[in-house]
Structure 1
Amino acid sequence: MTNAATGLPFDDIRNLLKDLPGPDLEAVRACRAREAQLTKPPGALGRLESLSEWLCAWQAHHPPKAERVVVAVFAGNHGVVAQGVAAYPQEVTRQMVANFQNDGAAVNQICKTFGLGLKVFELALDHPTRDITEGAALEEAECAATMAYGMEATEGCDLLCIGEMGIGNTTIAAAMAHGLFGGAAEDWVGPGTGVDGEGLRRKADAVRRAVALHGPHLSDPLEVLRRLGGRELAAMAGAVLAARVQRIPVLIDGYVASAAAAVLKALRPDALDHCMAGHLSAEPAHRRLLEKLELRPILDLGMRLGEGSGAAMAAGVVKAAADLHNGMATFESAGVSGKEE
C-alpha cells in the first residue's frame, strides 16, 4: 500500500501515522512483577492477565486503569442504500440515534451494567454520502475533516470503545474490505440487519461495481476510505488514530468498526497494536477481516447488533481484569504461602 504525501488534506493523517508511540515496556514489567505475586497459581486467570498487561502497555502506566471507559457510537447515512442493499429504511438511523439518546437501546443497558460512558456522534444524517456505485462517497477534505471530528471521542477516557449506527453500512464495510484485501465481493458481504437472498445478491453486485469503479485509486488506503467508506467509518478511523497518539487502548466493535480500523492497518502494519477486537460478530466476513487485522476477539457471543454493543460487553471483561490485577492480595500481604521452589 502506498502512503506517499499528496499535498492535500490527508497529509495531516499521514503525518500522524509516521510517529506513533509504542508500548511502554517499563509498565509491562511492573505489571508482570505484581501479577507474579498475586494469590493464585501463575497464569490461572488466563487471558484476563494479558488484558491487564495490554492496558499497562498502551496507557504507559502501572497499575492499569479502566475507570473512565467511553463507548463512542458514530452514526452516518449512505447513498448506496438506493441500490436496495438494506432491510430497513434509511430513516431508522436517525430513529436509533434518538433511541440512544433516550436510553432505550441495547448499548445503553450494557453501559449501565458496567458503568461505562456513552457518547453518540451524529454525522450529517440528512446528507447521506454519495452512492459508491456511482462516485466517491466523500471528497478528500470532507473525509479528513470527519476523521478529525472522530478524534474528539477520546476526550476524558482511559479506555475507548468504538461502534456505529448506519443503515446500509455493512455494504460499505464489505466494499472497503474488498477494496483493501481483494478476493471476491461475495467473500465480504453478509445479511447485515437481515436482508434475504436477493438482498445479498444486490449487496454483492453493489460491492463489485463500486470496487471496479474506483479500482485505479485503491492502492492508497485513505482513498479506499473516502471513495468506498462513509462518515461514521472515517470518524472511527480518526478516533482509533487519536487514541494511539494519546496512549488510550481501544476496543473495536464488529464488522463495520473493524473495516474502519483496517484502513490504518493498511497504512501502517503496527497501527492497531493498541487495539483489541471486542467480539466476533455473527456477520460472516468479520472472522476473515479480523484474521487480516491479526486481532483475536475477546468475546464470541453470536452478536451482530452493532452500536458498540460487543465492544461494550468486552469492556466489562477488561474492567474485571484491571480490578483483579489491582485489587487482589499478594502472597505476602495475605499471609499465603507461595509456590515451593
Structure 2
Amino acid sequence: MWLSGIKWMFLIIGTMIGAGYASGRELWQFFGTESTLAIVLFSVLFYFCCNIIMKISYEKKAENYIPVLEELMGPRLTRLYDGMIVLYLFTMTMVMIAGGGATLEVLHIPYWYGVGIISGLLVLLFVWGIDGMTSMNAMIIPILITFLVGTLVTFQVTSGFSLQLDFHKQGNWPSAFTFTALNILPLVAVLAAIGRQIKQQLEMKIASIGSSVILGLISLLYNESLLKVANEVMVYEIPLFAILKHYPYYMVLVMTGLLWAAIYTTAASGILGLSTRVHERAQLPFWLIALMLVLLMIPLTTIGFSRLVSVLYPLYGILNLYLLASILLYPIMTKFEV
C-alpha cells in the first residue's frame, strides 16, 4: 500500500518535472520575486487537484481520461477537451523528442541519432505497458530529484545559504493558479490512466501529499536560488546554467543528463496519455501504439512550432483555468447534488 502510494507519487512528480521545470525556465517565468506565498499556494492547489483526479479515476475504474473529464464537466465539453488534450499531448511529446535529440548534441551525438535513441527508449518502455512507465519513474525520478536538490543546496551553501522567505510582500500570489493550470492537462491524462490499478484510498493520500510537499519544497529552493542570480538569468536560455556557471564542466554535463532525463519522463507521460486513449478504440499492445505514435512524430520534429505554440498556448491557458476551476469546485458541486 505504501509502496503503491510512493509509486504513484513518483509518477505525478515525473509528469510535473519536465524539461521546463528542471531547467528553471517555468519557475522563473511564473514566480521570481514576491512568490513565497504563490509557491505555498501552488503546493496546496496541486494537492487538491491530484487527490480529486485520482479519486474520480479510482471510483470510475478509469483506463483513460474520458471518464474523468465527463465526471468533471459533462459529455459536451469533454468532446472539446478530448481533442485539445490529444493535440496538446501530441505536440508536447513531439517537442520533447526533438529536445531529446538536441540535448544529446552536447555529447557530440548527431541530432537524428539522439532522436532515434529517445524514440527507441520510449517504445521499449511500453513493452511493459503502464507498469513500465511507473517502474521507470520510480527509478529515474529519485535520482533526478537528488541531483537537482544537491546542486541547489550546494549553490546555497557556497553563496551563504540565505533563504529569504518573506511573507510581507506577496503580490505575485495569482501565479499559483496559472502555474497549476499550466500542468493540469498532462496530470489529468496520466492520473486518469491508473484508476484500475489503485487499490486503496490511502495510496491516493500518500501520492497527493508526498508529491505536493516535495514539489513545493523544491520550487521554493529553486526559486530562491534563481533570485540570487537574477541579473544573469536573462542571459541564459536555461536559467539553471546561470547557477552552474562557476561549477566545473563535468557538472554541466551531469545537469545536461538531468535535463535529458526530465525530457524523457515528460515524453513518456505524453505517450502514456495518448496510448491509453488510443487503446480504448484499438485493442493493440501499448508498445505497438507507442511505436506508431513515435513514427508519426519523428518526421514532424523538423517543423517549426513557434507559430503553433503562440496560438495554442494562450488558448490552453484559458481552457486549463476552466478545467482547474472544475476540479477545485468538484467536491462542492457533488456535495449539493441531489
Greater fraction helix = 2
Greater RCO, 1 or 2 (C-alpha within 8 Å, sep 6+): 2
**Structure 1 length as normaliser, TM-score?**
0.25
